[in-house]
A = this chain, B = another copy of it.
Amino acid sequence: MDNTRERLIDSALKLFLSQGIYITGVMAIAALAGVTKMTLYSHFPSKDALIVACLEERDRLWREEVARTLAAHPDPVSGMLAFFDLYQRYLLRDSGRGCLFVNSAAEFPQFSHPVHLAVRRHKQGIRENLAALAMSAGVSDPGVAAEGLFILLEGSFVSGAMGQDARVFDTARQIAHCWIRNQGQQEQSA
């Protein structure tokens, strides 16, 4: 069965989040998964491929949760605000260690690196979700609205990982509410 592959990805994610990606050795990952290094390399051609697989697994889970959440919130505005609950859950799940994707991009800053590309794909997917919601909510400029929501979500994640408790998401949700309500009613403000 392919249980081994899942255990390897789970173990890798646990170590990546608690120690960092670069510093985590493949032997430690294999040991935590209860297998040998050779077995790891029979499932993944390289450590980089394992990292990308971890990110894609997380991205898959994320998309599932987004779909489930949006199905429960037919109203677009309510759906947008539900994103803050999703982010908050992910922050708590990883013990406030920050966003796995942002951390990965920090450790692999070269834009062309496969890990960096996987991060960009994930964040791009989130932005597209938000833009679609803003579109169906009928705001005047869906692109800007999605951008604003994305800023608030990412900022909450960073702030929450920097010692603030998860209450930051409540603040961010309030700002989003205020911001969305005023969208479409004004053109110039500053």
* Chain A residues engaging chain B, CB cutoff 8 angstroms: 17-20, 22-23, 81, 97-98, 102-103, 105-110, 119-120, 123-124, 144, 147-148, 150-159, 161-164, 168, 171-175, 177-179, 182, 189-190
CB proximity of A97 to chain B, nearest CB, Å = 5
Per assembly, the copies of the chain total 2
CB proximity of A181 to chain B, nearest CB, Å = 8
CB proximity of A123 to chain B, nearest CB, Å = 5
CA distance A154 to B164 in the complex (A): 13
The A interface is mostly helix, strand or loop, or mixed, namely: helix
Tell me which residues across on chain B come within 8 A of A189, comparing CB atoms.
174, 177-178
Cross-interface CB contact of A20 among B22, B98, B161, cutoff 8 Å? B22
Q: Is the CB of B163 within 8 A of A190?
A: no
Chosen A-B contacts, 7 in total, with CB atoms closer than 8 Å, are: A19-B109, A19-B110, A22-B23, A23-B107, A148-B172, A151-B168, A155-B155
